Each structure stands twice: as structure tokens, then as C-alpha cells.
């Protein structure tokens, strides 16, 4: 171990997250490989090591014999300070080698607030921030992940982006880079060739011109790059690589459990939901595959819990068979099975009873909108009746805590809708009084609101965001309407939401803002411990860019949107149609009742969506 | 199955794993090795493992002792090999056996330390260190459950010797393992408080061996 590192570790919190050496880490001989890849996760070890994408891609990239892929995370503030003071550059956990020595830095960006951390990790590695400042072929710095469906705010920093699912695409890219390195290509030649790989977006090959009002006039692809980059998907998830021997952290992380992924995509089509649109088409794994992979992973890790992952667990058709199969293995071994993302409308009490081996923890429902009209407008197909029925069963079964999540600022929302949130809380309370077996234990109903953020590639991508002051007005309206003692109201601060709104629909000119925020000390901005709103305001000011133009403005239908070169498979027409239906407060049937023809099925080359 | 005792080492990168995290790591290693630990009864069942002398983060050891119980009878020779195949880097099972003595009989620990001096003459320091630890009393401030208290660590040091090395001084000591426990880090704290000119720029320790009150090997 590096002597300097050895001296600072005793002074930092939870040093085990900075040392590597965990069970199942992959160690190769650095002299035997041709490409050294750093999988960079722009957040803490605890968050990154809980990420299924990292587990999968760490394994797939390392399956290439000429590649050694290692991990790097963002150090927490104390370690960051110590590393700076001691002059230790960012290093990879497996080898302890500084990232300066690597051929590839591959960032996984799951949310926009991680952008400044990406810049900081580059800087800690001693690598120039902007792609243009890195003229040589190596290192290649690229990014993927769900925040890259609008890659533009990071376009100046990255050499390229991988759009969509990386299992196959990353390895195609690394294979090309191996050739480029061996044959001594220059960087432009490599980037031009990389742009021909499906799903690869090379921002420097796209010219963006602007109108006088700041909107985009045109985006023009150069040098044979595709006009539209279509995201990549893995067509057959049963055949897709899934790591049944993931790294087992030696220190506590956020998700210390086995996670098995039931399906990708979502049949629901909530209009505010980016994930529900960008992960289409719907592809499920067979229960046999999941049971086999789940058991294997439990045996290889020694974990005591399994979580079923998906956007909407209740929509997995063979859920009963899957749970039976897993419970046969788990129950006699005291292994817990958790099912997040169950829906209120087809909530199965019997299933829950079986799963809740020991403790009856709280129920959480994402209701999103306070009135049926608003829920219809956003296509959130939950009725109050369903919710109250579910609560009635739960209260009768001994649960005594319910959390209800809402967004404020959804398109078409009125004060009446907001007051509806308080009324619903009252009815849930009434439901508890009528159904609870043991009222002495009391009940806790918690309402949480966050500020709606319009995201690219969903039907609300053109919508306005209400802004900080209006959000606070609505918060206060709701606050004054909540009177019951058993109802708690928590609201998320809108400042992060405003910045996230600006970044998620931003264009490449935001590079200056990101760099400025970082220069002023911004990093780990996804953490309220580190996020400083004024730093962002100052950076917009110094870059002479208007925060409202990016954060709150409604986009015109005739506008060229910054992310128009990215095609996630869902047609613009479909998004527009859904948006219109919102204004008429009209529900759309879910994909299983009636295919809406969103277009994503075309990516399956003849296989059927949701089969 | 009856109680078993494991002796293991914790060195290299594993020294940074905290005591609490080590318990989880052990539980998972047993599970991976196909042997399930016995759990406590009750609302929140925990694996019944107990580590004789919890080790500070950053301190290495080649003589850790852990008692545990398994759900099923196993061949303990093969258990050692199976566990070693599933341990994270730096943790190695040395032996597994049925204990004959109580952990309370463990009294003395042999430890080795390296005191690093970046810019000082270690030959001189070595002698001064030896002289310092011959004092009759070495009173240091120690964190207790009720704030800070003063404690004399001298009776907890049965033997101590120093030898000069490359930019460092090697320390070997026999210190009290329990009742009272002497964290070897207190040797440095004593220097910082009472003889700051002798305090090393950095120090690290390794537990070497366990002894009983008579000075015989404890197993």
C-alpha cells in the first residue's frame, strides 16, 4: 500500500471503502493486459457498490482477456481533503494505481447532480477536463447511464457517450480501442470509427448552431456520424450476462444484498416518468433464470437478503412462481426476500404476509397527484379506492405506518389538487381508525412532496417547471391544510430540483457553468451536505446564462431540443399524443391492455415486446 | 454443534475493516463456505460469534481469536480450507479447534510496532524511547464512558524493547490484553503527551501472540 495512503487512512471515516481487497474483486496482471479501464462512479463507494449496472459492466468488461477493469469512486469530504493535502491522485481500488496510468475512464452517470463529481474525479486523476484538451488517443474518457439520454451538458468533457445498455456496446468499443492503440491511430480517427458502433454518441462530431433567442437552430452530424444515435438494448435478457459472483464489500454499503432484475422497461407509461420511457421495450427474464441466478448469487456472496428489482414489481407476470421458487430456497436458510415497487392497485397481501418474516415495516405509496383528475392527467393509474382498500388490509394486518409520496408542480395542477393531498391523508387516517386491530399503537401517516422536474424523452419533456417561489407557495398551502396530529408532512427543498431541471434539459453551453461550479469547490452536489445553491446561481451569472431559460421555461414544439440527436426508441409522436391526453385529463391504457404503438418494439427485430 | 474457536490473521488491506464490518464479513464467509452459523433467538437474530479482543481499525494481527457455533456438525479441517477459499484479501484462518480454556484467561498480548521518524536520528531516539518506558508511572489521558480520565499505563506494559531500523524504530512489547486493555496506540499517545520530541511521525502495530496470566501461550 502507498505509504502516503497508509498514513491518512487512520484519520478518515470508514477507511475500508478506500482500500479495495474485497471478496470477488478481479485482479489481473497489469503487464498482461492491453487496456486498463477505470470504471468511475461519480459518487461514494457505498452508493456505487450498490449499483447493479456497475456489477454487470465490471464483469462484462473484465470478460475481455485484454482488459483489466477496476473501480474508482468519489471520496467523501474528509478523505478528499487528506488526499489533496498528501498529493495522492485518484486511484483504482484493485491495484491502487493512480488513474493517470489508465487507458480508459468510463463514467456511469445515473443522475445529473453527479456532473460536478465527474469533473472532480477527472481533476483528481490529473486528467484535463475537456475532451479538446486531451489531444492524444489515450486516455479515452466516456460516460453512460441514464443521465446521458441528454448528454449535452457533459458534451465538452467526454470523448464519447454510450447510450442505452452497455453489456455489448462497451466491449465493442474496447475492442475497437484495442485495435486503435495497437495500430497507433490518432484520436479523431478513433472517434470517427467509434461513432459507427450502434449506441455510441461522439459529441464533437455534431455541430450545434443557435438562434438569437438562445434556442437551438440546428444540429448537424459530421464525418459520417449518424444523424440520430439510437440507444442500444440487450434483446434477450435471459441470455444476457448477469454476475452471480459480484464483489462483496467488506464494509456496509447502501444495498447489502443480492439484487435480481426481473425486467427492463415498464408497461405503465406515467407521463412524468423518464425511466418508464427510456428503458423500453419491455423485456422480462424467465422465473427459472431468476431463481437460478438468485440462488447462485446467494451462494457466492453469503448475503442474507434478496431484492427483486424492476420499475414495477407487481407487473412481473410470473411473480408468484418466482417468489415461490426463491422462498423454497430462502425460507429454510432465514434469507429475506424484499419486493420494492409494488403497486397499490394490485397489491397482494398474502404475498406480503409471506415475505414479512419478522418485522412489519412501513408501507410506501407513490401516489404522485392529489386528485383523481390530476392522476389521470399524469397517467398514474392509482385510484383512491385502491389505495384505501390496500391500506385497510394492511392496517387490519398490523401495519401502522404509511408513507405517501407526491410531486408538486405537475402540469395542470391546481390548488384544488394540492388540497386533495390533505384530504386523502385524512381518509387514510379514517381508514386506520376503522380497520386497525390495536389502536393503542397509534398510526403514522407521512406525506412527502418534491418539486416536479421535467425530463427529456418523456411526454412532459416540453413542460415548464414551477420554480422555487411557486413551489414554496404550494408547500405552504398544503401545510396549512394538514391538521391531523398523526399526519407528518415533509417537503424536499426545491433548490436542487431547479438545478436538476436546468441540467437535465440543458445544452452544451452549460459546460462553462459546470466547470465554474466545480472551480468554486462544487463536488458531490447530489448530497445536501455539499450542494450550495448560491454557487450554482453565481456560476450561471458568471457564464452569462439565464437559469430560468434552462430550468423553468416551457419548450416550444417547434424547438430543436438539445437531445434531439438521441433516439431512445420512443417516437416523438407518441410523446406528443400523451401530452395532449394529459391536457384532457385522459388516461391511456397500460401496454398490456392495448399497445400504444410507442415505437420501442421495433428495437427487438421481430421478438415481441413484453413477452 | 459444540463451541468452536478459530485463530485467524488480519493483515494487509484487511486491517482497515472495522470490528462491526468484520462480524458481517465472517458471517458471509461462513455462508459462502457452506457452513451456517448458529443464530441467537429473538426478534432480531444475530449470528453467535464473538471475537475475544476487538481489534482497532488500522491495527494488524496474526493471533485473532473468534468463538462461534455452527448449525451442523462439520469436519473442522476441511472447514478451515473452505473458509480460506472465501475470505477477502488479508484474512486467513490459521486453525480451528474446540476450545478448552475460557477467553477470560487471556491476559497478555505480544505486539510489534513500527515507529516511523521521517527526519530524526533513530539511533538516538531508540535509546531515549527505552529510557522513557522505564519510568515508574506513565499517566495518560484516556477517553472513558464518562468523558476523560487519567490512567497509568505503566503496569499494563510488562516488557518493551526498541531497535533502530531504516528511518524507524521497531518496538516489541508485552502488554495487557484485558482488565485493563491497553490499546498499543496509547504508547504513542503517552509520547505525544509526555515526551513529544520522541513521538513518531507515524506508527503501526501488529498483534503477534496471545498469553495467559502465567505467561504461557493462550489457545
Residues A14 and A161 in one domain: yes
Smallest CA–CA separation between A302 and chain B, in Å? 4
A 264-303 → B contacts, CB under 8 A:
299-303
| B143-168 per-position pLDDT tens digit | 777 778 888 999 999 999 999 999 99
User: Is residue A513 included in any domain, yes or no?
Assistant: no
Flag residues of chain A having pLDDT under 50. Answer: 358-359
Q: What is the CATH number of the domain that holds A468?
A: 3.30.750.200
Mark yes or no for CB contact A9/B43 under 8 Å.
no
User: Is residue A524 included in any domain, yes or no?
Assistant: no
Residues 6+ apart with CB under 8 A from A414: none
Residues B113 and B66 in one domain: no
Q: CA-based angle A410:A565:A466, to the nearest 5? A: 20
User: Is residue B218 included in any domain, yes or no?
Assistant: no
Residues A440 and A410 in one domain: yes
Smallest CA–CA separation between B109 and chain A, in Å? 22
Cross-strand bridge partners of residue A445? A402, A487
Q: Is B16 on the interface with A (CB under 8 A)?
A: yes
User: Is residue B84 included in any domain, yes or no?
Assistant: yes
A277 three-class SS: helix
Residues A104 and A206 in one domain: yes
Residues A293 and A203 in one domain: no
Please, what is the angle between helix A494-504 and helix A533-542, to 10°?
40
User: Is residue A37 included in any domain, yes or no?
Assistant: yes
Contacts of B12 in chain A (CB under 8 A): 1, 21
Cross-strand bridge partners of residue A108? A144
Residues A336 and A430 in one domain: no
Residues A367 and A350 in one domain: no
d(Cα B54, Cα B10) in Å, to the nearest integer? 12
Write out the H or E segment, with its range, that includes residue B131: helix B122-132
Q: How many helices (H) and strands (E) does chain A have?
A: 20, 19
Nearest partner of A482 among A432, A451, A452, A446, judged by Cα: A446
Nearest partner of A513 among A475, A551, A481, judged by Cα: A551
Q: How many CA atoms lie within 13 A of A332 on its CB side?
A: 6
The last residue of a domain, from among A492, A520, A546: A492
Q: How many domains, chain A?
A: 3
Q: What is the CATH number of the domain that holds B146?
A: 3.30.70
Number of other CB atoms surrounding residue A529 within 10 Å = 8
- Domain span at residue B205 reads 106-212
Chain A interface test: which of B24, B56, B201 (most A C-beta within 10 Å): B24
Residues B95 and B123 in one domain: no
Residues B123 and B92 in one domain: no
Residue B6 pLDDT > 90, yes or no?
Answer: yes
Residues A465 and A343 in one domain: no
Residues A187 and A292 in one domain: no
Residues B164 and B124 in one domain: yes
User: Is residue B217 included in any domain, yes or no?
Assistant: no
Q: How many domains, chain B?
A: 2
Residues B96 and B30 in one domain: yes
| Helix segments in A187-274, DSSP class H | 187-194
Determine the pLDDT at residue A406.
96
Mark yes or no for CB contact B88/A22 under 8 Å.
yes
Determine the pLDDT at residue B143.
76
d(Cα A490, Cα A447) in Å, to the nearest integer? 6
Nearest partner of A92 among A145, A146, A25, judged by Cα: A25
Contacts of B203 in chain A (CB under 8 A): none
Q: Is B32 on the interface with A (CB under 8 A)?
A: yes
Q: How many CA atoms lie within 13 A of A157 on its CB side?
A: 29
- Please state, for a pLDDT cut of 90, what percent of chain B lies above it: 84
d(Cα A393, Cα A5) in Å, to the nearest integer? 55
Residues A56 and A79 in one domain: yes
Q: What is the CATH number of the domain that holds A117?
A: 3.40.50.2300
The average confidence (pLDDT) of chain B is 93
Residues B135 and B154 in one domain: yes
User: Is residue A560 included in any domain, yes or no?
Assistant: no
Radius of gyration of chain B (CA): 19
Determine the pLDDT at residue A358.
41
The edge-to-edge listing of strands for the beta sheet with A305-309 is: A258-261, A305-309, A336-338
Residues B132 and B185 in one domain: yes
User: Is residue A243 included in any domain, yes or no?
Assistant: no
Q: Is B180 on the interface with A (CB under 8 A)?
A: no
The last residue of a domain, from among B100, B128, B163: B100
Residues A73 and A164 in one domain: yes
User: Is residue B19 included in any domain, yes or no?
Assistant: yes
Residues B62 and B124 in one domain: no
Per-residue exposure over A51-76, b if at least 16 CB sit within 10 Å of its own CB, e if not? bbbbbbbbbbbbebeebbbbbbbbbb
d(Cα B212, Cα B219) in Å, to the nearest integer? 9
Smallest CA–CA separation between B166 and chain A, in Å? 14
Contact (CB, 8 A) for A179 and A103: no
User: Is residue A556 included in any domain, yes or no?
Assistant: no
The last residue of a domain, from among B59, B75, B100: B100
Mark yes or no for CB contact A303/B28 under 8 Å.
yes
Residues A29 and A137 in one domain: yes
Determine the pLDDT at residue A353.
65
User: Is residue A90 included in any domain, yes or no?
Assistant: yes
Mark yes or no for CB contact A248/B28 under 8 Å.
yes
Mark yes or no for CB contact A21/B13 under 8 Å.
yes
What ipTM, to 2 d.p.?
0.93
User: Is residue B53 included in any domain, yes or no?
Assistant: yes
Nearest partner of A432 among A464, A397, A463, A468, judged by Cα: A397
Residues B31 and B88 in one domain: yes
Q: Is A184 exposed, middle or buried (0-12, 13-18, 19+ CB in 10 A)?
A: exposed
- Domain span at residue A441 reads 362-492
d(Cα A340, Cα A323) in Å, to the nearest integer? 13
Matching residue, cell 383523481 = A372
Mark yes or no for CB contact A302/B29 under 8 Å.
yes
Residues A27 and A171 in one domain: yes
The last residue of a domain, from among B51, B82, B100: B100
Residues B91 and B112 in one domain: no
The string of DSSP codes covering A143-154 is EESGGGGG-GGG
Residues B188 and B134 in one domain: yes
Work out the average pLDDT over B184-196: 94
Amino acid at each position: 500500500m502507498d505509504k502516503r495512503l497508509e498514513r491518512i487512512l487512520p484519520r478518515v471515516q470508514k477507511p475500508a471503502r478506500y482500500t479495495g481487497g474485497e471478496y470477488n474483486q478481479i485482479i489481473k496482471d497489469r503487464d498482461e493486459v492491453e487496456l486498463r479501464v477505470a470504471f468511475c462512479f461519480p459518487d461514494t463507494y457505498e452508493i456505487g457498490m450498490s449499483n447493479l449496472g456497475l456489477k454487470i459492466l465490471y464483469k462484462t468488461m473484465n470478460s475481455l482477456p485484454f482488459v483489466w477493469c477496476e473501480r474508482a469512486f468519489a471520496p467523501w469530504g474528509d478523505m478528499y481533503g487528506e488526499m489533496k493535502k498528501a498529493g495522492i491522485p485518484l486511484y483504482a481500488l484493485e491495484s491502487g494505481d493512480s488513474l493517470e496510468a489508465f487507458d480508459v475512464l468510463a463514467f456511469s452517470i445515473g443522475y445529473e447532480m453527479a456532473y460536478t463529481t465527474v469533473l472532480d474525479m477527472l481533476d483528481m486523476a490529473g486528467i484535463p477536463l475537456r475532451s479538446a484538451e486531451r489531444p492524444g488517443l489515450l486516455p479515452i474518457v466516456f460516460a453512460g447511464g441514464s443521465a446521458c439520454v441528454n448528454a449535452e451538458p457533459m458534451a465538452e468533457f467526454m470523448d464519447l457517450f454510450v447510450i442505452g445498455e452497455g453489456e455489448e456496446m462497451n466491449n465493442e468499443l474496447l475492442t475497437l480501442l484495442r485495435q486503435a492503440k495497437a495500430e497507433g491511430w490518432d484520436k479523431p480517427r478513433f472517434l470517427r470509427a467509434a461513432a459507427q458502433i450502434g449506441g455510441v454518441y461522439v459529441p464533437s462530431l455534431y455541430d450545434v448552431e443557435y438562434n438569437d433567442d438562445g434556442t437551438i437552430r440546428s444540429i448537424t452530424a459530421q464525418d459520417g456520424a449518424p444523424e440520430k444515435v439510437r440507444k442500444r438494448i440487450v434483446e434477450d435478457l435471459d441470455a444476457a450476462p448477469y454476475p452471480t459472483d459480484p464483489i462483496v464489500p467488506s464494509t456496509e454499503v447502501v444495498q447489502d444484498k443480492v439484487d435480481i432484475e426481473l425486467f427492463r422497461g415498464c408497461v405503465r407509461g406515467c407521463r412524468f416518468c423518464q425511466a418508464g420511457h427510456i428503458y423500453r421495450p419491455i423485456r422480462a427474464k424467465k422465473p427459472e433464470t431468476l431463481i437460478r441466478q438468485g440462488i447462485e448469487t446467494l451462494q457466492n456472496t453469503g448475503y442474507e437478503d434478496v431484492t427483486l428489482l424492476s420499475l414495477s414489481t407487481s407487473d412481473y407476470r410470473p411473480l408468484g412462481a418466482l417468489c415461490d421458487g426463491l422462498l423454497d430456497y430462502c425460507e429454510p436458510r432465514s434469507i429475506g426476500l424484499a419486493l420494492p415497487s409494488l403497486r397499490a392497485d394490485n397489491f397482494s397481501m398474502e404475498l406480503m404476509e409471506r415475505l414479512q418474516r419478522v418485522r412489519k415495516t412501513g408501507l410506501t405509496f407513490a401516489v404522485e397527484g392529489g386528485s383523481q383528475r390530476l392522476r389521470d392527467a399524469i397517467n398514474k393509474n392509482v385510484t383512491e379506492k385502491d389505495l384505501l382498500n390496500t391500506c385497510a388490509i394492511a392496517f387490519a394486518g398490523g401495519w401502522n405506518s404509511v408513507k405517501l409520496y407526491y410531486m408538486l408542480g405537475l402540469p395542470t395542477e391546481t390548488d384544488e389538487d394540492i388540497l386533495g393531498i390533505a384530504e386523502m391523508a385524512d381518509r387514510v387516517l379514517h381508514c386506520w381508525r376503522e380497520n386497525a386491530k390495536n389502536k393503542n399503537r397509534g398510526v403514522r401517516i407521512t406525506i412527502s412532496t418534491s418539486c416536479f422536474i421535467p425530463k427529456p424523452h418523456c411526454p412532459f419533456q416540453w413542460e415548464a417547471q414551477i420554480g422555487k417561489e411557486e413551489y414554496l407557495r404550494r408547500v405552504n398551502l398544503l401545510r396549512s391544510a394538514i391538521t391531523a396530529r398523526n399526519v407528518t408532512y415533509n417537503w424536499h427543498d426545491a433548490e436542487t430540483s431547479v438545478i436538476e431541471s436546468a441540467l437535465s434539459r440543458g445544452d452544451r453551453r452549460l459546460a462553462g457553468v459546470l466547470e465554474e461550479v466545480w472551480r468554486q469547490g462544487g463536488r458531490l452536489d447530489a448530497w445536501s451536505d455539499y450542494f450550495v445553491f448560491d454557487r450554482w446561481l453565481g456560476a450561471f451569472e458568471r457564464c452569462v446564462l439565464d437559469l430560468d431559460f434552462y430550468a423553468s421555461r416551457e419548450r416550444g414544439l417547434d424547438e430543436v431540443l438539445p437531445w434531439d440527436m438521441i433516439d431512445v426508441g420512443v417516437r416523438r409522436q407518441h410523446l406528443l399524443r400523451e401530452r395532449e391526453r394529459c391536457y384532457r385529463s385522459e388516461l391511456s391504457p397500460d401496454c398490456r391492455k392495448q399497445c400504444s404503438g410507442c415505437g420501442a418494439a421495433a428495437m427487438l427485430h421481430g421478438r415481441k415486446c413484453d413477452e | 454443534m459444540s463451541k468452536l474457536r478459530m485463530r485467524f490473521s488480519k493483515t494487509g488491506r484487511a486491517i482497515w475493516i472495522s470490528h462491526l464490518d468484520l462480524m458481517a464479513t465472517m458471517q458471509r464467509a461462513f455462508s459462502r463456505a457452506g457452513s451456517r452459523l448458529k443464530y441467537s433467538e429473538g426478534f432480531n437474530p444475530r449470528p453467535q460469534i464473538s471475537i475475544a479482543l476487538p481489534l482497532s481499525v488500522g491495527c494488524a494481527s496474526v493471533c485473532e481469536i473468534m468463538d462461534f457455533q455452527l448449525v451442523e456438525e462439520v469436519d473442522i479441517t476441511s472447514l478451515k480450507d473452505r473458509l480460506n477459499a472465501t475470505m477477502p484479501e488479508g484474512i486467513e484462518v490459521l486453525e480451528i479447534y474446540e476450545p478448552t480454556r475460557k477467553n477470560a484467561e487471556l491476559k497478555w498480548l505480544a505486539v510489534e510496532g513500527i515507529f516511523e521518524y521521517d527526519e530524526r536520528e533513530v539511533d538516538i531516539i531508540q535509546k531515549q524511547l527505552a529510557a522513557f518506558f522505564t519510568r515508574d508511572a506513565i499517566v495518560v489521558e484516556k477517553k472513558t464512558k464518562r468523558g476523560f480520565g487519567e490512567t497509568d499505563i505503566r503496569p499494563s506494559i510488562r516488557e518493551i524493547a526498541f531497535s533502530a531500523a531504516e528511518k524507524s524504530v521497531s518496538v516489541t512489547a508485552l502488554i495487557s490484553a484485558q482488565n485493563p486493555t491497553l490499546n498499543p496506540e496509547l504508547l504513542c499517545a503517552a509520547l505525544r503527551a509526555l515526551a513529544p520530541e520522541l513521538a513518531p511521525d507515524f506508527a503501526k502495530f501488529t498483534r503477534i501472540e496471545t498469553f495467559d496470566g502465567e505467561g504461557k501461550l493462550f489457545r
